[in-house]
């Protein structure tokens, strides 16, 4: 496996095996055990657009495993601002590092970088395209809560048009036979080509503008942020965004085991009253970014994760 | 009107290439895709909207003193996939070629997604569109995966 550009680069068996490794790495991610599996390895963090969680969790993952990280730094002060092509940047970083994590505002940038590089590329988001490492941590969180990935009923809500996390996640969930409900305003519906691909793979997909209608039967509610700048005027935004807010009182009839996820940052689509409910999983989800990325770094660098870590079999 | 009559609308050529069965109205684009529309000194004859039994109407192009090769012809897969091509030597058909649609169309057109990494024309890697389905023809960008609108693609010829 050269890199991870889209979820199509992983078979279902590989996904499950990477999640198994991630589970065993939990004590390492928490700092309870030091396991320098990646000592001597260097990760190049190339973030051409802002990132907090993805960049920091890659850095934490590498360091928890004894590896090192070099950062592109602020794009405004790097050679990118002088007009350097992505190809040239990749040629340079490829020589400095063993693996590259990259986020770029343009779609296709991760595949382009992989074609230009010798080392594996981990796609940390390319425009409105894919975000497979987020999907891996999302799958980890779902499996942690439900003990399985198959046959779940998952609501994906909010900005499904531009939200790359939901694009990658919906592909992966379809492969595990989940039932998907896409709840979004008309303007921010899941792109047609994605829905048609999902249908071609036998997906059970329902599209609706009503978030709350099926919340009582859902196993997972995956919320995303609706960005103001997508709308022509503020009134329209306010009207639409108001319909995609969750409050603790909306969850009274839901299944006990239902979890609420969010790739973060949230603005006001999840009211703080939800934080204290048993359903809230978004902060654990953010933590799981470390363990999922630890597992992916090991896999892509061909480093085997021991079957037993810290005395646990 | 017969096929022969169509062909005689312009003089027979001694040596060169005849491209027949081009969909009506696409001849100019074919010339563009072959790079024959500019900076070329060879005589080119073009017949448009002539009757065709198979197609209703069609366009025909004759390029003198130049034999197009298979790679050049394959560039036409997007606009004239069913075109018939004849290489003419000494007024006779020396070779017949058909346009082949491979697995990928490389450096012929660029992706129609304005936010695709390949829209920065300074990026040096090849423009690659993969054949996702042959019938109906569906192409997707190798890099961003975006399905391509064939009408829009015609405006993105490199």
Distance in Å, alpha carbon of B147 to nearest chain A alpha carbon: 7
Q: How confident is the model over A192-251, as pLDDT tens digits?
A: 889 998 999 899 999 999 999 999 999 999 999 987 777 778 887 887 777 789 999 999
Measured between beta carbons, the chain B residues lying within 8 angstroms of A86 are 117, 120, 123
Q: Which helix (H) or strand (E) holds B19?
A: strand B16-23
Q: Which helix (H) or strand (E) holds B60?
A: strand B56-64
Q: Do A106 and B115 touch (CB under 8 A)?
A: yes
* pLDDT at residue B136 tops 50: yes
Catalytic member of A6, A24, A41, A54: A54
Nearest chain B residue to A126, by CA: B144
Q: Do B144 and A193 touch (CB under 8 A)?
A: no
* Torsional class of B58: left (φ above 0), alpha (ψ -120 to 50), beta (otherwise): beta
- Residue with the bigger pLDDT between B154 and B66: it is B66
Taking Cα atoms as reference points, which of A17, A35, A14, A16 lies closest to residue A312? Answer: A35
Nearest CB to B116 within list A106, A115, A193: A106
Task: Provide the 8-state DSSP code for A75.
Answer: G
Q: Is residue A85 annotated as a catalytic residue, yes or no?
A: no
Nearest CB to A116 within list B125, B141, B144: B125
Residue A266 preceded by cis peptide, ω within 30:
no
- Residue with the bigger pLDDT between B76 and A16: it is A16
Which pair of tokens denotes residue B83?
């075109």
Q: Do B143 and A86 touch (CB under 8 A)?
A: no
Which pair of tokens denotes residue A296?
């992916």
Q: Is some CB atom of chain B closer than 8 A to the CB atom of A83?
A: yes
Taking Cα atoms as reference points, which of A225, A222, A207, A213 lies closest to residue A279? Answer: A222
The answer to whether ipTM exceeds 0.95 is no
B110 near B144, Cβ under 8 Å? no
Task: Give the list of residues 6+ apart from residue A19 with CB closer than 8 angstroms, or none.
Answer: A136, A139, A140, A143, A292, A295
A101 near A45, Cβ under 8 Å? yes
Helices (H) and strands (E) in chain A, counts: 10, 9
The band of B129, judged by pLDDT with boundaries at 50, 70 and 90, is very high
* pLDDT at residue A135 tops 80: yes
Average pLDDT, integer, range B79-84: 87
Residue A181 phi, psi dihedral angles, 5° rounding: -120, 120
E strands present in chain A: 42-47, 68-71, 99-104, 121-126, 153-157, 179-183, 204-208, 220-223, 259-261
B99 near B83, Cβ under 8 Å? yes
The band of A313, judged by pLDDT with boundaries at 50, 70 and 90, is very low
The band of B134, judged by pLDDT with boundaries at 50, 70 and 90, is confident
> Which residues does B contribute to its contact with A (CB < 8 Å)?
111, 113, 115-120, 122-125, 141-147
Distance CA A56, CA A45 (A): 10
Average pLDDT, integer, range A14-32: 97
* pLDDT at residue A1 tops 60: no
Nearest chain A residue to B148, by CA: A193
Taking Cα atoms as reference points, which of A209, A213, A174 lies closest to residue A195? Answer: A174
Nearest chain A residue to B138, by CA: A193
Q: Do B143 and A116 touch (CB under 8 A)?
A: no
CB count in 10 Å sphere of residue A165: 22
Measured between beta carbons, the chain B residues lying within 8 angstroms of A129 are 144-145
Catalytic member of A24, A41, A131, A299: A131
Distance in Å, alpha carbon of A11 to nearest chain B alpha carbon: 19
Q: What is the DSSP string of A183-219?
A: E--GGGPPPHHHHHHHHHTT-EEEEES-SGGGGGG-S
* Torsional class of A12: left (φ above 0), alpha (ψ -120 to 50), beta (otherwise): alpha
Nearest chain B residue to A129, by CA: B144
Distance in Å, alpha carbon of B157 to nearest chain A alpha carbon: 19
Does this model's pTM top 0.95? My answer is no
Nearest CB to B141 within list A87, A108, A128: A108
Q: Is residue A53 annotated as a catalytic residue, yes or no?
A: yes
For A86-243, where are the alpha helices, taking DSSP H only? 86-96, 109-116, 132-146, 164-175, 192-200, 234-242
Burial of B70 (0-12, 13-18, 19+ CB in 10 A): exposed
Lowest-confidence segment of A113-127, A264-278, B9-23 by average pLDDT: B9-23
Measured between beta carbons, the chain A residues lying within 8 angstroms of B119 are 106
Q: Are strands B44-52 and B84-89 parallel, antiparallel or unpaired?
A: unpaired
Q: Is some CB atom of chain B closer than 8 A to the CB atom of A176?
A: no
Lowest-confidence segment of A77-91, A182-196, A205-219, A245-259 by average pLDDT: A77-91
Distance CA B75, CA B85 (A): 13
Tell me what pLDDT residue B4 has.
60
Q: Is residue A82 annotated as a catalytic residue, yes or no?
A: yes
Q: What is the mean pLDDT of chain A?
A: 93
Distance CA B45, CA B14 (A): 13
Q: How confident is the model over A25-42, as pLDDT tens digits?
A: 999 999 999 999 999 999
The alpha carbon of A24 is separated from its chain's Cα centroid by a whole number of angstroms, namely 20
């Amino acid at each position: 496996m050269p890199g991870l550009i889209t979820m199509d680069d992983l078979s279902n068996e590989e996904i499950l095996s990477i999640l198994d490794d991630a589970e065993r790495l939990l004590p390492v991610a928490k700092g309870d055990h030091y396991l320098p599996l990646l000592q001597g390895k260097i990760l190049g963090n190339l973030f051409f657009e802002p990132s907090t969680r993805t960049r920091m969790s890659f850095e934490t993952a590498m360091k928890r495993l004894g590896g090192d990280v070099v950062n592109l730094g602020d794009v405004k002060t790097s050679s990118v601002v002088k007009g350097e092509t992505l190809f040239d940047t990749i040629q340079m970083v490829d020589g400095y590092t063993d693996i590259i994590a990259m986020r770029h505002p343009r779609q296709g940038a991760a595949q382009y970088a992989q074609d230009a590089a010798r080392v594996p590329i981990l796609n940390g988001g390319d425009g409105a395209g894919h975000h497979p490492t987020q999907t891996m941590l999302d799958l980890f969180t779902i499996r942690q809560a439900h003990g399985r990935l198959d046959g779940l009923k998952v609501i994906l809500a909010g900005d499904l048009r531009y939200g790359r996390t939901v694009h990658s996640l919906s592909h992966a969930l379809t492969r595990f036979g989940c039932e998907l409900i896409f709840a979004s305003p008309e303007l921010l519906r899941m792109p047609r080509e994605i829905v048609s691909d999902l249908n071609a793979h036998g997906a059970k997909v329902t599209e609706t503008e009503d978030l709350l209608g099926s919340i009582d039967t859902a196993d997972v509610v995956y919320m995303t942020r609706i960005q103001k700048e997508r709308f022509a005027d503020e009134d329209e935004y306010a009207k639409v965004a108001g319909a995609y807010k969750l409050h603790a009182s909306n969850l009274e009839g839901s299944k006990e085991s239902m979890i609420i996820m969010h790739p973060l940052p949230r603005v006001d689509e999840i009211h703080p009253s939800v934080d204290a409910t048993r359903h809230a999983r978004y902060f654990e989800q953010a933590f799981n970014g470390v363990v999922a990325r630890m597992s992916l770094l090991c896999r892509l660098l061909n480093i085997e994760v021991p079957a037993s870590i810290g005395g646990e079999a | 009107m017969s096929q022969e009559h169509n062909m005689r609308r312009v003089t027979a050529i001694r040596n060169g290439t005849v491209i027949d069965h081009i969909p009506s109205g696409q001849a100019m684009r074919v010339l563009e895709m072959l790079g024959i529309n500019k900076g070329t000194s060879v005589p080119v004859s073009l017949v448009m909207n002539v009757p065709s039994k198979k197609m209703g109407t069609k366009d025909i192009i004759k390029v003198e003193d130049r034999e197009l090769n298979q790679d050049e012809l394959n560039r036409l897969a997007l606009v004239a996939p069913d075109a018939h091509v004849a290489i003419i030597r000494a007024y006779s058909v020396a070779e017949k070629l058909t346009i082949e649609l491979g697995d990928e169309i490389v450096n012929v057109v660029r992706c129609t997604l304005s936010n695709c990494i390949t829209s920065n024309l300074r990026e040096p890697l090849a423009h690659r569109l993969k054949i996702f389905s042959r019938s109906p023809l569906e192409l997707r960008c190798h890099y961003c995966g975006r399905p391509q609108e064939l009408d829009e693609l015609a405006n993105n010829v490199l």
